[in-house]
Structure 1
Amino acid sequence: MSNVFNNSLKNSLQQLECHFTWSLLKQDVDLDDLEETIGDQIEFLIKDSITGYNLLSYVCHLKNSNEEALRNLQKAEETVKTNHPDEVARRSLVTWGNYAWIYYHMERYEEAQTYVNRVENSCKNLSSTAQWKIELPEIYAEQGWALLKFGRKYYERAKNCFENALKDEPNNPEFNAGYAIAMYRLEAFLHRQCEDLSLSLQPLKRAVELNPKDTFIMALLALKLQDLKQGDEGVRYIEAAMQNSPDLPYFLRYAAKFYRRKGEVDKALEILKKALAVTPKSAFLHHQIGLCYRAKLFQLKKNTRYPPRQQVEELGRLSIFHFKSATDQKTVFFAAHIDLANMYAEQKRYKEAKETFQKASQISILSYDDKHEFYYNYGNFQRFHMKSESEAIRYYIEALKIEKESYYFHKCKSALKKLMEQRIQGGAGDAKDFGTLGFIHNLSGEKHEAIECYEKAIALCPNNEEYLSALCELRLSISS
């Protein structure tokens, strides 16, 4: 193939709207888990899912299985012809784009060009002004669903896609559901910094209003109402959904979460085991079951002065088993790693706790919030289980070096401040402790208190450049 043709084809491919041009990076997900999840959703949640088959084809390509990718695209095409016989071109643009890219990667360039031409001709027919790009709400929505599947760093983009889809079709139930899910998930990760927890409430209510049969969205609405201390209203949605979808695993997992948070842990476990029987490899379900056994363990310890050792060990064992199943199934599942490490520590299995914390810290897709959470939990592990205040202090400080607002940033700051004040008040405070306390005050904008601490640190260690520099900067900032 000539370089001119190759460059022309590559340029055309990059103009297409499909999974290959949406910057969906394989390092941001666990591909095996994602493949399993999409397969389950096609089987149980959305039969004949064009979106599911297209995304599955992309995941297969990322796993170097292009023949399987092509088979999924064929299923997407068949679904379009069956469900949208009058809109085949409009509904197939993403599928054809994926075909073109996969054939290109397989070095079947003529077939790739055929699909490029098909997209180009369809775009011209659908819009007199468009050669490649055509702003269809279905394409925005399909991109939004794909972004949601690739994890939290994509949620903001997913929200924007569904907003664009809704501009043309504000009453479309699927687009409203996607927008509500994106808002709910964004809020779940931002809630520790965000004072308004109700931003997703109206989108969720709107989505339920447009499709009262969507029990998955009903469950998310119930959880949101529970967040907002409106649990009684949430119960009504959960109970109505339980009658409509008593066997749907994607509803049951959130119904169980609702009951666990309500304190009905045994009911939650019963629901989760039912869902696990249908989707036995679900990392989410294993994690939720682990949380239930952990809740039962903590409740037993709280309510019983001398809890039976055998019962404590058994609840700990079950919790560990399910947390470990979640991390085995989904290697980038940060929360499950942290919960597993803490449960190992709770059971005095310190070597395994350290190893699991290490694995958690090495997950490649950690946000700054995750890193704060890791440092806080590992700092606590060092402090309360390893009895090493110096190591705990080191990890709390590491968190504070990432100067971003998050729930665990403030937890680390608070824990470190309390430790420093205790050491100083107990008479054991040295220059390093005063310097650290000065650093904390400075972070909090308490400049006069910071200056006082750094002056005490310098009195104990007169030539320390770090303290002298910090003190100089603080005095300059006050005088200016």
Structure 2
Amino acid sequence: MSKNADEDQVKDRLEQLRCHFTWKLLIEDTEITDLENRVFDEIEFLDIKYNVGIHNLLAYIKHLKGQNKEALESLKEAETLIQQERTNQSNTKRLVTWGNYAWLYYHMGSLGEVQIYLDKVENTCKKVASPSCCRLECPEMDCEEGWALLKCGGKNYERAKACFEKALEVDPENPEFNTGYAITMFRLDSFHKVTQFKEAFSLHPLKQAIRLNPEDAYIKALLGLKLQDVGEEAEGQKYIEEALTKMSSQTYVFRYAAMFYRRKGSLDKALQLLKTALQATPSSAFLHHQIGLCYRSQVLRIKKTAKWQPRGQDRENVNRITRLAISHFEFTLKQKPTFEIAYIHLADMYIEAGNYEKAEDTYQKVLCLKKLDKEVLQEIYFYYGRFQEFQRKSEIDAIIYYLKAIKIENQSYSRDKSISSLEKLVLRKLRRNASDIESLSILGFIYKLKGEMNEALEYYEQALNLAADFERF
């Protein structure tokens, strides 16, 4: 057999493996640095016994950065952890690690080493009577894939959910499967800004995960936040306080406890927790973003107390805190340039500082990002529309972006606010000029969206009659 034929055969076998190189993890080039930092933080501060999977993921990240020798070191660390582990999942984790070894050596051009690890995988698959010589189908493997997808960001969450669901079908009482599923559902709720009780899909999975993992402080902190989301703040605070008494995963618990207290309005307490966590993980985009949000809330609080006309010391405090918020949001985006919502928050603080050029630049950057989620895009369009209306004084551009938000047919807070803002704007235009055909047409469109068809027809007819008169003239 020729060398090319041998290589083709090896590649076919590699493609059958279940490991980080075949799971199609969606990671943007600009996300790699932040992902690597988060992996290092998890290794050091998240209390997971024998965390083989995270070292495998780190090896894959090192490969993406072109650091294959360093990737091999991470796989050796994973192997060492497997030796210490005595669970039913050890075989699964070995297969993932060996699969990563095989792929890594393939990219390094060491076909002899590739063959060694392929043989290891195949021998193990034979021992457990797998129908495939290179592929093991089992709930533990689905769980490993789910964790890898979950760690790699929002574009991977739906697939992570499917992996954990598949594992739970086989073993519904497995503590790890339930933990992975609960965290995934929590992330999906947050990703899609789900806040209504009937739509809080992660509430039951989180309670189930706590039942099976009663000492898991991280899950308790997430449950506390979710209960706050659905209007059960007092109950949520019990879980937060309980999580804070544990030493386990403290840096991560501080993050979510801080979110809880920020949303409750206890900004000083939130900032204290965030700054403590920041000492352990100074490069965390998440923490810098949360600190920025606390400062942003302080600005709004001062302005509200001053009836939106801060003067003297209040104005100085607003200016000082605005600068702090800007610095943390800027650091967030330096670490994680794909953090879409942080662009809106940064632009908002630039507007507060009176720097409209930087606000414009920030909006343009986020509008150029690829594959934006529909709800996020609606939010960007809405806030950019407000920026055009109130800062740029451009009614035309404001209308364009409100309409862009509305035409994404996805029910959301931003879409509702865009409809309301557009209605107010065109009514204002009509008070200045009752014969404005465009405003009459838009008002007809708004009433149509609201389901008020008689009013919609009335405005459409007015617009058509004016258009006909205009043509005749």
Verify same fold: TM over 0.5: yes
Name the stretch that deviates more: 205-214 or 404-413.
404-413
The amino acid of 1:57's aligned partner reads A
Deviations 1:382-441 (A, max 9, x none): 111112211111111222333333332232222212322332244355122222233334
Structure 2 residue matching 1:17: 3-state secondary structure: coil
The corresponding residue for 1:317 is: 323
Deviations 1:309-344 (A, max 9, x none): 211111111111111111111111111111001110
Aligned-residue identity in percent: 48
Correspondence 1:90 to 2:96: no
Work out which of the residue numbers 187, 198, 201 in structure 1 matches 2:200.
Answer: 198
Alignment of 1:148-297 (within 5 A): 148-192=150-194, 196-245=198-247, 248-297=250-299
Q: State the distance in 2 between where 1:230 and 1:255 align.
A: 15
The corresponding residue for 1:474 is: none
Alignment of 1:68-83 (within 5 A): 68-83=70-85
The corresponding residue for 2:13 is: 12
Q: State the distance in 1 between where 2:470 and 2:456 align.
A: 16
> Post-superposition shift, 1:137?
2.0
Q: State the distance in 2 between where 1:357 and 1:270 align.
A: 31
The corresponding residue for 1:375 is: 381
The corresponding residue for 2:36 is: 35
Q: State the distance in 2 between where 1:149 and 1:247 align.
A: 16
Structure 1 residue matching 2:393: 3-state secondary structure: coil
1:245 and 1:251 in contact (8 A); partners too: no
Deviations 1:109-136 (A, max 9, x none): 2222322222122112112533233222
Deviations 1:57-104 (A, max 9, x none): 111111222112111111111110122388653321111111111111
Structure 2 stretches lacking a partner, 5+ long: none
Structure 1 pair 194–20 and aligned structure 2 pair: CA distance change class (3 A): farther
The amino acid of 2:181's aligned partner reads Y
Structure 1 pair 267–280 and aligned structure 2 pair: CA distance change class (3 A): same
Structure 1 pair 6–463 and aligned structure 2 pair: CA distance change class (3 A): farther
Work out which of the residue numbers 48, 51, 54 in structure 2 matches 1:52.
Answer: 54
1:29 and 1:151 in contact (8 A); partners too: no
Alignment of 1:390-429 (within 5 A): 390-429=396-435
Structure 1 residue matching 2:245: 3-state secondary structure: helix
User: How many positions carry a matched residue from both structures?
Assistant: 465
2:419 and 2:446 in contact (8 A); partners too: yes
Q: State the distance in 2 between where 1:78 and 1:9 align.
A: 27
1:27 and 1:365 in contact (8 A); partners too: no
Name the stretch that deviates more: 257-266 or 152-161.
152-161
Deviations 1:25-65 (A, max 9, x none): 22286100000001110111136410100111111111222
> Post-superposition shift, 1:365?
3.7
Alignment of 1:450-469 (within 5 A): 450-462=456-468
Work out which of the residue numbers 354, 362, 387 in structure 2 matches 1:348.
Answer: 354
The corresponding residue for 2:306 is: 304
Structure 2 residue matching 1:37: 3-state secondary structure: helix
Name the stretch that deviates more: 68-77 or 363-372.
363-372
Correspondence 1:115 to 2:117: yes
Correspondence 1:430 to 2:445: no
The amino acid of 1:433's aligned partner reads S
> Post-superposition shift, 1:9?
1.5
The corresponding residue for 1:478 is: none
Structure 1 residue matching 2:222: 3-state secondary structure: helix
The amino acid of 1:325's aligned partner reads F
Alignment TM-score, normalising by the size of structure 1: 0.91
> Post-superposition shift, 1:170?
2.4
> Post-superposition shift, 1:160?
1.4
Structure 1 residue matching 2:28: 3-state secondary structure: helix
Q: State the distance in 2 between where 1:314 and 1:248 align.
A: 31
Structure 1 pair 442–114 and aligned structure 2 pair: CA distance change class (3 A): farther
2:384 and 2:398 in contact (8 A); partners too: yes
The corresponding residue for 1:103 is: 105
Name the stretch that deviates more: 401-410 or 91-100.
401-410
Structure 2 residue matching 1:19: 3-state secondary structure: coil
Q: State the distance in 2 between where 1:367 and 1:90 align.
A: 34
Structure 1 pair 65–464 and aligned structure 2 pair: CA distance change class (3 A): farther
Q: State the distance in 2 between where 1:69 and 1:276 align.
A: 27
Q: State the distance in 2 between where 1:259 and 1:95 align.
A: 40
2:125 and 2:135 in contact (8 A); partners too: yes
Correspondence 1:388 to 2:407: no
1:193 and 1:407 in contact (8 A); partners too: no
The amino acid of 1:369's aligned partner reads E
Name the stretch that deviates more: 8-17 or 194-203.
194-203
Q: State the distance in 1 between where 2:176 and 2:279 align.
A: 28
Q: State the distance in 2 between where 1:55 and 1:260 align.
A: 32
Work out which of the residue numbers 427, 434, 445 in structure 2 matches 1:439.
Answer: 445
Deviations 1:427-479 (A, max 9, x none): 355122222233334445555544433332232334999xxxxxxxxxxxxxx
Q: State the distance in 1 between where 2:468 and 2:183 align.
A: 56
